[in-house]
Amino acid sequence: MREKQAINVVLRRQTEVEDHKYKARLHVSIIVVRLLLKIGLPFCGHDKSVNPKNKGLYIEVLKSIRETSEDIFNNTLENAPKNNQLISIKILNALVQCFAQEVFLCIQEEIGQDVFALLVDESSDVSKKEQRAIVLRYVDSLAL
């Protein structure tokens, strides 16, 4: 047997290539999610038709970023496996939840045992959807 053609060597090489492609997709997804969260913009549009003109900001920003790198272009959207494109709303919500957890841990670390105030306000908009605003007030260690 030739060592380079052994099944375990070929599978390991194939797994490393797929792992690299997945990490490239995940990295660019995190960049887009971070940007949209930082600016406070929605990820998806409200048009749920089969071929909407506006596919949402997440897809549009992802399309713009993928034009900057051939590696990203070759591993995202239609060039990625159909079940691993990282564009599902469940995956995006999971990424947002990870960011929320990190922000919560940073705030918790900074507040420590100090006093804080939490203000929650909820109202319905014109379409009868509930909108909630949450405000956390605390004095950070730099102000002392």
Q: How far apart are CA 26 and CA 47, in angstroms?
A: 25
How sure is the predictor about 25, in pLDDT bands with cuts at 50, 70 and 90?
confident
How sure is the predictor about 73, in pLDDT bands with cuts at 50, 70 and 90?
confident
Please list, residue by residue across 60-94, b when 16 or more beta carbons sit within 10 angstroms of its beta carbon and e when fewer do: ebbeebbeeeeebbebbeeebeeeebbbeeeebee
N-term to C-term CA, the chain: 71
pLDDT at 49 over 80: no
Q: What is the pTM of this model?
A: 0.65
As a whole number, mean pLDDT of residues 20-28 equals 83
Q: What pLDDT is attached to residue 142?
A: 67
